[in-house]
């Protein structure tokens, strides 16, 4: 893959992020409501409001406020949280680490289960196994995570079993077992949806490949079916799966909002819900932008992975 | 029927089975919402402290919640709010997305490129996160949630419908309309729109299910329907707090949401196959 291809993709990603930052800023500033009123309450005196607006820079032109905000981002400065009275950057960074751990573990678990299941389903197209896997994955896509989560809590985190804590977080530095115990249920809920999605992509990618000429040739050569499937088929059949896997990191960023809230897991999603509920504008902007950035980076990785697997795509 | 039973290899469900099953569940969900507007066995907010968190019984078919309120009554009475979130948000998303898709797909050029850059940027945040951004400005509530989910759904509609418009605009009947000297607006709405309805119906149907879940999620987070009013998301949130005591308050709203979502999804997928609409790999 050429350097020009890489540069173009990175540039597109940066432009996307720049536009996104403008949209996020506009969304949170042009809509009705005033941060000063939110902080001081409806009963505040006009003088106090004016003083706070000056301190927060709300009396300056919109474009200047935006550029100020934008200039801080490369340094990791996202303004000061209006409800916690702390710089938003470090809070977001810490929570982002927690969420990233959750997302990466989920991706690995989901990939490890979904790819073999999808390949198996495709290789026995129309069999009872295939139909069962498809039906189960359909349910997986359709059942919302806030329904799956309570069911898992009943099964695994409530008496009589009570194997796992039903919510909360323990730092990795304190105890590995405690950290793991708290992360299991969120990962299972997130993976549940992801497995269903990945499995269907793998299956349809494999079906396409398995009907191609070179697979027929491999079979006619007398290769064993297992070799045909896993060595010849998977290599091409998985190129869409890899792309989808990367895109799903972005998709996971949407799911963590709700899953972290359910399990009181202190990640980026829960932080955003807190920020929205309390109208903490700097935190809202920061969390939304980081979530968008994760998606843009994931998209970039998806393009690069696809280009690496299929060099024809990298040509203009 | 005997031939089906005797078939040697079990077959995949036929396409129209999806459609029929989906349509059936969809009608059921709509019926629940409509019935709930007019009738419920008990007043949905009637407190009965002697029968809290009760298991299903002839008196309370789906049990009672932590205040002894009848779960079936609340599922019925809250149904219209959940269904409204699904349909309202989809209608709004289409109302914003369609004109943009038609104009950009028909005129192409510079404006199209700029608009699509914006659409791509918006598609890089998850729908729920976008909806949360809008909620920041509008505040929590049912109407606000419909607006937020509708605005958040619109970039997806622009993307999907625009590609159908691009395809339609290359056909001879559009060239003919141009040659006749028809106005751009007439060609967009009179010639192109009638030929791109199939993907609109398919994506619209799937989005109703998607927005229904998104609405329930917002309500679950406390940003949609506000208690003491009920919808299925609020009910799941309330049920989850007492889940170690009783499972029953969860069952009703969970079943209602799952059945509706599966219904709208199957309906969309069935229509997709029936109407021969292509699927793009990014929106599965």
Average pLDDT over every residue of B48-65: 84
Reply yes or no on whether the pLDDT at B3 is more than 50: no
What pLDDT, on the 0 to 100 scale, is given for residue B180? 92
Contact B134 A31 (CB under 8 A): yes
Average pLDDT over every residue of A54-79: 84
DSSP state letter for B251: H
Cα nearest neighbour of B214 on chain A: A144
Cα nearest neighbour of B243 on chain A: A154
What part of A 159-188 touches B (C-beta under 8 Å)? 159, 166
Contact B240 A153 (CB under 8 A): yes
Reply yes or no on whether the pLDDT at A1 is more than 60: no
- CA separation for the pair B202, B267 (Å, rounded): 8
DSSP state letter for B124: T
What part of B 175-214 touches A (C-beta under 8 Å)? 209, 213
Question: Which of A16, A146, A153 is facing B121, going by the closest CB pair?
Answer: A16
**pTM for this structure?**
0.88
| Cis, peptide link before residue B228, omega less than 30° from 0 | yes
Query: What are the chain B neighbours of A200 within 8 Å (beta carbons)?
Result: 284
Query: What are the chain B neighbours of A143 within 8 Å (beta carbons)?
Result: 258, 261
Domains and CATH numbers, chain A: 88-314 (1.10.3720.10)
- Phi and psi (nearest 5°) for B59? -75, -35
Q: Does residue A307 sit at the B interface (CB-CB below 8 Å)?
A: no
Question: Cα dist. A56→A80, A168, A282, B126 in Å?
Answer: 9, 34, 11, 29
Q: What is the 3-state secondary structure (H, E, C) of A270-296?
A: HHHHHHHHCCCHHHHHHHHHHHHHHHH
Lookup result for tokens 């105890």: A175
Query: What are the chain A neighbours of B232 within 8 Å (beta carbons)?
Result: none
Instruction: Report yes or no: B216 and B231 within 8 Å, Cβ to Cβ.
Output: yes
Residues 6 or more apart whose CB falls under 8 angstroms from that of A217 comprise none
Query: What are the chain B neighbours of A142 within 8 Å (beta carbons)?
Result: 209, 258, 261-262, 265
CA angle, A199 as apex, A254 and B82 as ends, to 5°? 45
Question: Which of A166, A201, A291 is facing B125, going by the closest CB pair?
Answer: A291
Average pLDDT over every residue of B51-59: 84
- The region of weakest confidence among A27-36, B101-110, B262-271 is A27-36
- The region of weakest confidence among A15-29, A112-126, B6-20, B197-211 is B6-20
- What is the interface size between A and B, counted as CB pairs within 8 Å? 160
- Long-range interactions of B3-7: CB distance < 8 A, separation 24+: none
Contact B10 A126 (CB under 8 A): yes
Residue-wise pLDDT for B230-278, tens only, equals 899 999 999 988 888 888 899 999 999 999 999 999 899 888 888 877 6
- Exposure string over B60-95, b if 16+ CB within 10 A, otherwise e: bebbbbbbbbbbbbbbbbbbbbbbbbbbbbbbbbbe
Residue-wise pLDDT for B215-238, tens only, equals 999 999 999 999 888 899 999 999
CA angle, A13 as apex, A10 and A16 as ends, to 5°? 155
Question: Cα dist. A70→A62, A63, A186, A280, B133 in Å?
Answer: 12, 10, 33, 18, 18
Residue-wise pLDDT for A272-305, tens only, equals 999 999 888 899 999 999 999 998 888 888 888 7
Regarding predicted confidence, which is higher, B48 or B189?
B189
- CA separation for the pair A309, A207 (Å, rounded): 18
Q: Does residue A154 sit at the B interface (CB-CB below 8 Å)?
A: yes
Model ipTM? 0.86
Reply yes or no on whether the pLDDT at B280 is more than 70: no
CA max distance for chain B: 77
Which residues is A80 bridged to in the sheet? Answer: A87
Q: What average pLDDT is seen over chain B? A: 87
A239-262 and B197-220 helices, crossing angle to 10°: 30
**In whole angstroms, what separates CA B196 from the centre of its chain?**
20
Residues of chain A with pLDDT > 90, as a percent, come to: 26
Regarding predicted confidence, which is higher, B205 or A211?
B205
Q: Among candidates A249, A230, A243, A231, which has minimal Cα distance to A293?
A: A249
Residue-wise pLDDT for B20-51, tens only, equals 889 999 999 999 999 988 888 888 888 888 88
Residues of chain A with pLDDT > 70, as a percent, come to: 95
Lookup result for tokens 């999603």: A269
Contact B121 A20 (CB under 8 A): yes
Query: What are the chain B neighbours of A127 within 8 Å (beta carbons)?
Result: 9-10
What pLDDT, on the 0 to 100 scale, is given for residue B262? 92
Reply yes or no on whether the pLDDT at B213 is more than 90: yes
Reply yes or no on whether the pLDDT at A35 is more than 90: no
What pLDDT, on the 0 to 100 scale, is given for residue B284? 36
- Phi and psi (nearest 5°) for B275? -95, 5
Average pLDDT over every residue of B44-69: 84
| Tokens coding B180 | 């006749």
Query: What are the chain A neighbours of B127 within 8 Å (beta carbons)?
Result: 254
Instruction: Report yes or no: B8 and B28 within 8 Å, Cβ to Cβ.
Output: no
Confidence of residue B137 (pLDDT cuts 50, 70, 90): confident
Question: Which of A31, A138, A296 is facing B138, going by the closest CB pair?
Answer: A31
Q: What average pLDDT is seen over chain A? A: 85
Instruction: Classify residue B220 by burial, with Cβ atoms within 10 Å: 0-12, 13-18, 19+.
Output: buried
CA max distance for chain A: 86
Confidence of residue B1 (pLDDT cuts 50, 70, 90): very low
Confidence of residue B156 (pLDDT cuts 50, 70, 90): very high
CA angle, A177 as apex, A172 and A181 as ends, to 5°? 95
Confidence of residue B94 (pLDDT cuts 50, 70, 90): very high
Which residues is B32 bridged to in the sheet? Answer: none
What pLDDT, on the 0 to 100 scale, is given for residue A163? 82
Query: What are the chain B neighbours of A258 within 8 Å (beta carbons)?
Result: 128, 217, 220-221
Count of H-run helices and E-run strands, chain B: 11, 0
- CA separation for the pair B152, A236 (Å, rounded): 35
Instruction: Report yes or no: B164 and A304 within 8 Å, Cβ to Cβ.
Output: no
Question: Which of B209, B221, B247 is facing A261, going by the closest CB pair?
Answer: B221
Instruction: Report yes or no: A286 and A89 within 8 Å, Cβ to Cβ.
Output: yes
Instruction: Report yes or no: A20 and A289 within 8 Å, Cβ to Cβ.
Output: yes
CA angle, B97 as apex, B96 and B102 as ends, to 5°? 115
Confidence of residue A38 (pLDDT cuts 50, 70, 90): low
Q: Among candidates A102, A134, A112, which has minimal Cα distance to A260?
A: A102
Interface test with B, best of A19, A149, A161, A197 (most B CBs within 10 A): A19
Residue-wise pLDDT for A231-257, tens only, equals 888 877 777 787 777 778 777 888 899
Question: Which of B118, B124, B233 is facing A292, going by the closest CB pair?
Answer: B124
């Amino acid at each position: 893959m050429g350097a020009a291809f890489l540069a173009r993709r990175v540039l597109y990603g940066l432009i996307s992020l720049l536009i996104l930052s403008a949209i996020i800023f506009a969304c949170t500033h042009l809509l009705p409501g005033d941060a000063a009123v939110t902080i001081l309450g409806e009963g505040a005196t006009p003088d106090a409001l004016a003083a706070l607006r000056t301190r927060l820079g709300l009396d300056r032109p919109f474009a200047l406020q935006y550029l100020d905000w934008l200039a801080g981002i490369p340094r990791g400065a996202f303004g000061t949280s209006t409800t916690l009275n702390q710089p938003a950057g470090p809070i977001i960074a810490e929570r982002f680490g927690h969420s990233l751990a959750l997302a990466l573990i989920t991706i690995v678990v989901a990939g490890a289960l979904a790819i073999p299941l999808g390949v198996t389903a495709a290789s026995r197209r129309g069999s009872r196994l295939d139909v069962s896997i498809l039906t189960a994955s359909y349910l997986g896509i359709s059942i919302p995570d806030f329904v799956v989560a309570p069911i898992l809590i009943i099964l695994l985190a409530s008496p009589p079993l009570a194997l796992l804590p039903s919510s909360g977080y323990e730092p990795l530095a304190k105890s590995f077992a405690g950290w793991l115990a708290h992360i299991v249920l969120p990962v299972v809920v997130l993976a549940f949806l992801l497995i269903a999605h990945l499995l269907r992509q793998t299956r349809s990618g494999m079906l396409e490949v398995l009907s191609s000429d070179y697979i027929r040739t491999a079979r006619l050569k007398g290769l064993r079916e297992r070799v045909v499937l896993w060595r010849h088929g998977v290599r091409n059949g998985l190129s869409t799966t890899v792309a989808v896997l990367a895109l799903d990191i972005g998709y996971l960023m949407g799911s963590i909002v709700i899953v972290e809230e359910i399990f009181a897991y202190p990640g980026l999603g829960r932080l955003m819900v807190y920020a929205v509920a309390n109208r903490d504008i700097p935190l809202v902007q920061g969390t939304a932008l980081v979530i968008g950035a994760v998606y843009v980076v994931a998209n970039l990785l998806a393009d690069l992975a696809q280009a690496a697997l299929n060099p024809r795509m990298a040509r203009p | 029927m005997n031939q089906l039973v005797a078939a040697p290899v079990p077959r995949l469900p036929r396409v129209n089975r999806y459609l029929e099953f989906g349509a059936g569940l969809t009608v059921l969900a709509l019926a629940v919402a409509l019935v709930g507007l007019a009738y419920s066995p008990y007043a949905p907010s009637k407190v009965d402290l002697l029968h809290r968190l009760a298991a299903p019984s002839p008196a309370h078919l789906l049990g009672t919640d932590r205040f002894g309120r009848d779960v079936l009554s609340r599922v019925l009475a809250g149904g219209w709010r959940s269904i409204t979130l699904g349909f309202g948000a989809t209608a709004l998303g289409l109302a914003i997305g369609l004109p943009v898709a038609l104009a950009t797909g028909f005129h192409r050029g510079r404006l199209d490129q700029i608009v699509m850059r914006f659409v791509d940027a918006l598609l890089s945040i998850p729908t729920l996160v976008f909806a949360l951004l809008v909620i920041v400005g509008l505040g929590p509530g049912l109407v606000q949630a419909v607006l937020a989910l509708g605005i958040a759904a619109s970039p997806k509609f622009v993307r999907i419908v625009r590609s159908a418009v691009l395809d339609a605009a290359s056909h001879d009947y559009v060239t003919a309309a141009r040659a006749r000297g028809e106005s751009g607006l007439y060609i967009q709405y009179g010639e192109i729109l009638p030929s791109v309805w199939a993907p609109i119906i398919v994506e619209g149907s799937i989005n109703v299910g998607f927005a229904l879940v998104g609405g329930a999620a917002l309500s679950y987070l406390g940003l949609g329907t506000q208690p003491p009013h009920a919808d299925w998301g609020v009910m799941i949130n309330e049920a989850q707090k007492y889940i170690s005591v009783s499972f029953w308050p969860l069952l009703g709203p969970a079943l209602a949401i799952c059945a509706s979502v599966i219904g709208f999804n199957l309906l969309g997928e069935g229509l997709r196959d029936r109407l021969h609409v292509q699927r793009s790999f990014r929106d599965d």
